[in-house]
Amino acid sequence: MTEPTFAELVSRWYEENARDLPWRKPDVGAWAILVSEVMLQQTPVVRVLPAWEAWLARWPVPAALAADSPAEAIRMWGRLGYPRRALRLRECAVAIVERHGGSVPDRLDQLLALPGVGTYTARAVAAFAYGQRHPVVDTNVRRVVCRAIAGEPDAGPTTRPADLVATEELLPEEPAAAALASAAFMELGALICTARAPHCDRCPVESTCAWRASGQEAPAGPTRRPQRYAGTDRQVRGLLLRVLRETTGPVPHQRLDQVWADDVQRARALAGLVEDGLVEPVGTEAFRLAGDGPAPPLPTPNLTY
């Protein structure tokens, strides 16, 4: 009898303990999975859930989103944060229509070439939507592998090629089992092997965890600079965008002036939104969400002769 592997232990735990998330249901297509991965990039599951449902109800296929305006995408993004993701997801839909006939590609290089799709998301879609064998490494997986295998207290701030290799070595050979294991690693990091207060008493690999065995050392020091939000351009961008989102069409600049008192910072934030393609000037006195114009005129039947 051989000992169960690390991936087998975590996968068994996953099958008993995974959260019941809608994008994990068996009949969910690649587009829905791609949308969920982009939304989850920097955002907790609970906030993504309603936005994902609404987004896919409105745009069930990439071509539907590609045909709609950036403004509508930004509006539907709501308060998920990092609204450039909405813009990129729409650009991604356009690219999928133009390059791949409207179907989410299944090749890693083609996924990586899509706007807003990076190392993590490309592998997540290839694995979870298409059942391919790829290491899928987000911050949770990096932490799990770093602790349980290397015995180190903390993973580095970014995913490095070595992290992909270390994770790949843990995957079962069979592609579907590998995809399941990747989902299981992520879930373990999200629910048990959490950053600050891990629940080792409920961990399926506690007995083989190198970090646990070595005394569960705390991370050496702060690995990240303190993050601030209040008072930053980020906050001002958010406030400006909220006003624009809640209005259809142009908003007079006087109304935008009310969201933030500091003229210099407000102007800088607004210029940044324009620079990012989220907002566009209308004349000299107003701004609107990108493409939030009147519907393009329908071709009118020629009745004039």
Handedness of CA 111, 113, 114, 118 (dihedral sign): positive
Q: Read out DSSP for 153-173?
A: S---SS--HHHHHHHHTTS-S
| Residue positions annotated with a catalytic role | 37
Query: What's the closest the beta carbon of residue 78 comes to DNA, in angstroms?
Result: 8
How far apart (Å, rounded) are the C-alpha atoms in residues 102 and 65? 11
C-beta closer to DNA: residue 156 or 285: 156
CA–CA gap between residue 271 and residue 292 (Å, rounded): 17
Partner residues linked to 251 by β-bridges:
287
CA dihedral 244, 246, 248, 251 (to 10 degrees): -40
* 3-state DSSP assignment of residue 261: coil
Q: Which is nearer to DNA, 232 or 248 (CB)?
A: 232
Minimum distance of DNA from residue 227's CB (angstroms): 4
Is residue 223 packed enough to be buried (19+ CB in 10 Å), middle (13-18) or exposed (0-12)? exposed
Query: What is the edge-to-edge ordering of all strands in the sheet holding 286-289?
Result: 251-252, 286-289, 279-282
Measured CA to CA, the distance from residue 126 to residue 14 in angstroms comes to: 20
Q: Which is nearer to DNA, 43 or 208 (CB)?
A: 43
Structure tokens at 282: 């209308």
DSSP-derived 3-state class of residue 282: strand
Residue closer to DNA (CB basis): 226 or 297: 226
The footprint of DNA (CB under 7 A) covers 41-44, 46-47, 79-84, 88, 115-122, 138-140, 158-159, 195-196, 224-227, 229-230, 232-235, 237-239, 241-242, 272
Type of residue found at 210: A
- 164 vs 1: CA distance, rounded Å: 30
Q: How far is the CB of 176 from DNA (least distance, A)?
A: 22
Between 138 and 280, CB nearer to DNA: 138
